[in-house]
């Protein structure tokens, strides 16, 4: 049987405000537990919410970026349920009147085609705290630092039909919100979290029952979780079973998913308008003032990278896709005045290293300024491209502040000093009588290929620091003298 | 309204009602619902619901960190804490 | 000294006839001696009060002279007081000592008032008799077999027994005006949004409003001057110019139009109460006011609408009491569910649980439209009734309560009978309007109240009319029989 997959996403995007959605407590990541939970965040009796203007500005920016209608009247509602990370016993969110109405995001696929993914709406809401499951003699610890951090929840239509499209959408959204500067995009810190709704059906048939896999916080996990769930659903259906509507959790380390709760256990959230907050009115003047301050978006940046730096479409798309990468690229290019080399380094060595350590570019131990030093020293011949990788690795490990410092400390400077190289060449020739004979007796057109052996010996003797071009020239000269 | 429905509501509200009280609670809640059912007679066609007595809009706060760390004060009145965390019986996701 | 009004006490302090310390000691002595009978205080803050009094005397000696400087008052135990237990009448908060002050508590502190303690109340302000308090029922000083009304029963009894010259209180459906009526006091619920709700433990957020209980309109005006402020910590606090509520007390009643809603004089009203209220309205007519019969056609729907909206809001507002961060926590919870359920069930009283369940029901899937949405539509109809009425009249007058104070336990376990106590006061909260109750005579030797309702922000008008009435009558000066 053939099956069609239907995927919709709900994406929680943490907004990069300084303070919380309804209180003046800090939203900074990684502080000591509960040091950023004020009386409002702790739901102390009698405390009241105060709405943060910047959160509305950010949500409006997002709406404008996806060409959505901005809700002129936006109303907060209470979503009621008990959980220890939810101090008030309700989450303040939006339901009937969200800030961002329907919109659209276009994704590019590997085969070069594009697809429009419809956004149902996006609403503002507060994040919950965290339950820490380390064992406190059989109890859990609750940290409410994150409670009240502003989120927009972006809800798509079920427009994606495989993991590739879902991941492409997720990456596109990541690029959009980081470029807008409304989210830091740090997935490992939970700044973007994905809930994936998945169902399968016979081609053209009725929509199947869907499941929701919650809280995926990396593109890789998302891809894996979708593949796993699609396979599970097909297995169930093909063996005559039926899919139960349920919420699932994916464990990215164990590569396993499990049921979190079934539909029967689903809560009755009893939404109603929050009486502590009045309707927020967003007028045209406000919208226009936000529009006027919109930063460059990835599409525009891609076009600019292509024309300004002469990058091909593919490279431009990747480098312009998210803000941190594009900023890294531009700093690098400005310093090195070599867009092609900069692009190659980011998409090659840097990206491989970041991937292997599951780091975002924002968390890169090697800054754009440091990498620029590496490229500059390669270009001016101080180091070879092979040594450059070694310098990069040393910078990554924190073994020096700059390329120059690493080169200096490790003595990696390329040897271009002719007398030293001549001495090495003479020694190699003297120690390789057999190879020299072969060289002499060979056809003149085969000789350049045979030069490789002598070069290799010198590079070995110089621990790779000899300037290969100079070595070539000296060897040619010395060997020719023997003919 | 029957005891099963009361139990369902109680579960949503995280209230425990023991069996010896359930009949009494059910009867009282039924009385209250009979009172509020008078609403059903009202003609409210075309009437916009009124969520709030104030005909006003939300003031918005400037995005500034204004709250200092007062964990000591807040946790001094907490039932159980350890290493700055509030403790609860094991949370199972 | 306890027979003096706040205005007179302020004058005495200014003239140094007595010091704030003397005054404070006097009231603390009275509380100690007499409150065993009334149970109006939950907490007496003797040490703090004396320290505040000393500071007030020192400030006065240094030249400070604010109207409430050194005047003793007491707060309803719904207002958070930093460092002083704030129970809200509940076992849930029996040991809750807030690390912050309510804005109105801060306002009185800034004004130099001395706080004698925290006053008893129905649990979480849910009740009309002060019988739902975890700290025991409050007795009416006029007849200790009777209730003082609720939920601000402690505030009313304490002022009526002259244990404090004035008290703060709160009103969600009549919780200031009804006890004022039953205890022979002047009780003002200001316009919704006029007084900050920050630090006032929420019952029903769109209805709750802080106010005052005093003997006279003049005292209420003095206290209101400090109570009212624009508070950036409360999004529903109205940023309107501050007024001097004592400035217009001399206003001429002549030429004003008083609307008397026919619906407030229906079957449920005790005939003797009706007669007293009518006499009071006649008194206004004598002063030159025009009396106009009006209709508020949706009045009978106010109680049903209220008992959907208030429980719905409270069901969410009280979810924060979960035994995790503060307040009551059950012993040895076996799991999370057990922690929630036992903490809440052991610490909330029957009425609170009933209202949480009714509110949960009204908001639950399948019932939202029939109950919550319908109630909000009716709320608008009620508001429109008032808007129409105020197009023709300056003030609305009628009874505050259907009958004088009833005996403790008289309404038994029937919540509906209790709910009808607030039949004339609830509509005002739904519409967010200011309401005032002033004493207008005795029935069965117990006080009854006249209610004045004004358009939004017409507190000055209500206080002015009340003051004129009190200039020509002496109901507000009557003291409970047998009181020292």
DSSP-based three-state secondary structure for C437:
strand
> pTM here?
0.90
- The verdict on whether C19 is a catalytic residue reads no
Give residues 28 to 87 of B whose Cβ lies within 8 Å of C.
Answer: 28-29, 31-40, 42, 44, 47-54, 56, 58-59, 61, 70, 73-74, 76-80, 86
Residue A198, pLDDT above cutoff 80: yes
Residue C74's beta-bridge partner residues? C167
- Touching check for C99 and chain B: CB below 8 Å? yes
Residues 6+ apart with CB under 8 A from C44: C28, C31, C32, C35, C116, C117
Tell me whether residue B8 is exposed, middle or buried, using C-beta atoms within 10 angstroms of its C-beta: 0 to 12, 13 to 18, 19 or more. Answer: middle
Higher pLDDT, C98 or B91: C98
pLDDT of residue C417: 87
pLDDT, position B78 = 98
Contacting residues of C for A46, CB less than 8 Å apart: 79-80, 98, 102, 197-202
Does A50 contact C200 at a Cβ distance shorter than 8 Å? no
Nearest to A397 by CA among A456, A353, A438: A353
pLDDT at residue A264, as a whole number: 62
Confidence of residue B21 (pLDDT cuts 50, 70, 90): very high
Q: Supply the pLDDT for residue C302.
A: 97
Encode C153-192: b = buried (16+ Cβ within 10 Å), e = exposed. bbbbbbbbbbbbbbbbbbbbbbbbbbbbbbbbbbbbbbbb
For position C126, what pLDDT does the model report?
98
What is the DSSP annotation of C374-416?
Answer: HHHHHHHHHHHHHHHHHTT-SEEEEESSSSSPPBTTTTTT-HH
Confidence of residue A409 (pLDDT cuts 50, 70, 90): confident
Question: pLDDT tens for residues B30-80?
Answer: 999 999 999 999 999 999 999 999 888 999 999 999 999 999 999 999 999
Helix (H) or strand (E) holding A432: none
The reported pLDDT for the residue numbered A443 is 84
A454/A463: higher pLDDT: A454
Catalytic residue status for C319 = no
Query: From the candidates C19, C129, C151, C299, which is the catalytic residue?
Result: C151
pLDDT, one tens digit per residue, over A329-341 is 999 999 999 999 9
The low-confidence residues of chain C, meaning pLDDT below 70, are none
Q: Which residues of A touch B60 (CB under 8 A)?
A: 51-53, 56, 280
In contact, C303 and C419? CB cutoff 8 Å: yes
The pLDDT of residue A266: 64
Residue of A16, A34, A54, A87 for testing the chain B interface, max B β-carbons within 10 Å: A34
Which of B54, B63, B64 has the CB atom closest to A278's CB atom?
Answer: B54
Residue C306 has a pLDDT of 98
The mean pLDDT of B5-34, rounded to a whole number, is 95
Q: Is the pLDDT of residue A413 over 90?
A: no
Q: Cβ contacts (< 8 Å) between C333 and chain B: which residues?
A: 89
Question: What pLDDT, on a 0 to 100 scale, did the predictor assign at position A110?
Answer: 83
Question: For A48-98, what is each residue's pLDDT tens digit?
Answer: 999 999 999 999 999 999 999 999 999 999 999 999 999 999 999 999 999
- Residue C291 main-chain phi, psi, to 5 deg: -105, 130
A473 vs C431, residue with greater confidence? C431
CB of A34 within 8 Å of any CB in chain C? no
Instruction: Please give the pLDDT value at position A265.
Output: 64
């Amino acid at each position: 049987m053939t099956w069609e997959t239907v995927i919709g996403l709900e994406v929680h995007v943490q907004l990069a405000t300084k303070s919380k959605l309804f209180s003046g407590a800090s939203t900074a990541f990684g502080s000591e537990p509960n040091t950023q939970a004020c009386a409002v965040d702790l739901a102390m009796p009698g405390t009241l919410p105060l709405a943060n203007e910047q959160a509305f500005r950010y949500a409006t920016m997002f709406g404008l970026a996806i060409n959505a209608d901005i809700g002129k009247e936006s109303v907060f509602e209470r979503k009621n349920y008990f959980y220890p990370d939810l101090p008030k016993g309700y989450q303040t969110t939006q339901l009937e009147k969200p800030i961002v109405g329907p919109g659209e995001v276009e994704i590019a696929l590997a085969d070069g085609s594009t697809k429009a993914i419809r956004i149902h709406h996006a609403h503002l809401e507060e994040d919950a705290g965290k339950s820490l499951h380390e064992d406190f003699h059989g109890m859990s610890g609750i940290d409410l630092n994150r409670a009240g951090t502003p989120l927009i929840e972006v809800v798509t239509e079920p427009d994606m039909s495989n993991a590739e499209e879902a991941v492409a959408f997720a990456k596109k959204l990541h690029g959009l919100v980081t470029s807008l500067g409304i989210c830091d995009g740090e997935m490992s810190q939970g700044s973007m979290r994905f809930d994936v709704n998945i169902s399968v059906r016979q081609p053209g048939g009725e929509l199947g029952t869907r499941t929701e896999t919650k809280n995926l916080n990396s593109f890789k996990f998302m891809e894996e979780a979708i593949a796993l769930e699609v396979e599970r659903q097909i297995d169930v259906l093909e063996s005559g079973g039926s899919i139960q509507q349920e919420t699932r959790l994916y464990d990215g380390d164990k590569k396993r998913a499990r049921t979190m709760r079934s539909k029967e256990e689903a809560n009755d959230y009893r939404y109603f308008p929050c009486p502590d907050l009045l309707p927020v009115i967003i007028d045209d003047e406000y919208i226009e003032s936000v529009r006027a301050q919109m930063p460059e978006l990835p599409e525009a940046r891609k076009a600019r990278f292509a024309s300004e730096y002469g990058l091909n479409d593919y490279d431009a798309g990747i480098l312009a896709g998210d803000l941190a990468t594009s900023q890294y690229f531009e700093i690098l290019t400005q310093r090195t005045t070599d867009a092609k080399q900069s692009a190659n380094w980011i998409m090659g060595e840097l990206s491989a290293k970041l991937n292997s350590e599951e780091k975002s570019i924002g968390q890169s131990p090697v800054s754009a300024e440091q990498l620029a030093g590496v490229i500059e020293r390669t270009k001016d011949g101080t180091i070879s491209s092979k040594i450059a990788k070694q310098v990069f690795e040393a910078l990554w490990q924190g073994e020096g502040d700059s390329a120059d410092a690493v080169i200096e400390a490790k003595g990696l400077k390329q040897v271009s000093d002719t007398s030293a190289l001549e001495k090495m060449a003479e020694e190699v020739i003297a120690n390789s009588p057999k190879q020299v004979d072969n060289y002499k007796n060979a056809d003149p057109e085969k000789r350049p290929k045979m030069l490789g052996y002598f070069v290799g010996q010198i590079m070995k003797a110089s621990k790779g620091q000899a300037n290969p071009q100079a070595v070539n020239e000296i060897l040619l000269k010395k060997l020719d003298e023997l003919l | 309204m029957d005891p099963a429905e009361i139990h369902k509501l109680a579960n949503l509200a995280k209230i425990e009602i023991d069996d010896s009280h359930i009949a009494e609670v059910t009867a009282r809640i039924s009385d209250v619902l009979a009172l509020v059912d008078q609403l059903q007679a009202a003609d409210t066609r075309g009437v916009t619901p009124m969520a709030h007595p104030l005909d006003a809009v939300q003031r918005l706060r400037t995005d500034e960190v204004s709250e200092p760390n007062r964990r000591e004060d807040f946790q001094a009145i907490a039932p159980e804490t350890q290493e700055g965390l509030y403790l609860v019986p094991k949370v199972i996701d | 000294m306890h027979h003096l009004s706040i205005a007179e006490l302020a004058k005495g302090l200014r003239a140094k006839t007595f010091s704030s310390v003397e005054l404070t000691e006097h009231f603390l002595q009275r509380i100690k001696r007499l409150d065993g009978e009334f149970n109006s205080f939950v907490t007496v803050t003797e040490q703090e009060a004396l320290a505040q009094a000393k500071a007030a005397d020192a400030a006065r000696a240094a030249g400070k002279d604010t109207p409430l400087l050194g005047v003793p008052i007491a707060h309803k135990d719904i207002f958070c007081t930093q460092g002083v237990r704030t129970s809200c009448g509940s076992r849930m908060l029996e040991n809750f000592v807030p690390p912050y002050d309510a804005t109105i508590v801060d306002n009185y502190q800034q004004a130099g008032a001395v706080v004698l303690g925290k006053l008893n109340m129905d649990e979480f302000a849910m009740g009309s008799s002060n019988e739902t308090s975890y700290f025991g029922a409050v007795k009416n000083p006029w007849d200790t077999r009777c209730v003082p009304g609720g939920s601000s029963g402690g505030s009313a009894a304490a002022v009526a027994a002259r244990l404090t010259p004035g008290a703060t209180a709160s009103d969600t459906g009549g919780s200031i005006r009804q006890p004022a009526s039953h205890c022979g006091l002047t009780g003002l619920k200001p316009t919704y949004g006029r007084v900050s709700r920050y630090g006032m433990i929420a019952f029903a957020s769109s209805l709750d409003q802080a106010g005052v209980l005093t003997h006279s309109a003049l005292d209420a005006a003095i206290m209101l001057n400090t109570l009212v402020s624009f508070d950036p910590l409360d999004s529903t606090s109205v940023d309107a110019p501050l007024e001097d509520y004592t400035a217009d007390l001399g206003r001429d009643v002549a030429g004003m139009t008083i609307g008397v809603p026919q619906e407030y004089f229906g079957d449920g009203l005790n005939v003797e109460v009706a007669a007293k209220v009518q006499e009071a309205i006649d008194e206004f007519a004598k002063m030159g006011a025009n009396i106009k019969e009006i209709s508020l056609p949706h009045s009978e729907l106010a109680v049903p609408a209220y008992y959907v909206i208030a429980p719905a809001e409270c069901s969410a507002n009280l979810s924060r009491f979960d035994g995790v961060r503060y307040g009551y926590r059950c012993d040895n919870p076996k799991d999370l569910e057990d922690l929630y359920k036992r903490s809440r069930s052991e610490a909330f009283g029957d009425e609170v649980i009933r209202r949480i369940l009714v509110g949960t029901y009204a908001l639950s899937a399948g019932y939202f439209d029939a109950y919550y949405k319908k109630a909000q539509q009716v709320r608008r109809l009620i508001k429109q009734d008032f808007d129409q009425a105020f197009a023709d009249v300056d003030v609305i007058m009628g009874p505050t309560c259907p009958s004088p104070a009833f005996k403790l336990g008289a309404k038994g376990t029937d919540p509906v009978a209790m709910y009808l106590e607030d039949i004339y006061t609830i509509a005002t909260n739904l519409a967010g309007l200011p309401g005032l109750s002033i004493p207008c005579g005795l029935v069965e030797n117990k006080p009854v109240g006249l209610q004045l309702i004004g358009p939004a922000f017409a507190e000055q008008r209500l206080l002015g009319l009340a003051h004129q009435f009190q200039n020509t009558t002496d109901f507000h000066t009557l003291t409970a029989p047998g009181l020292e």
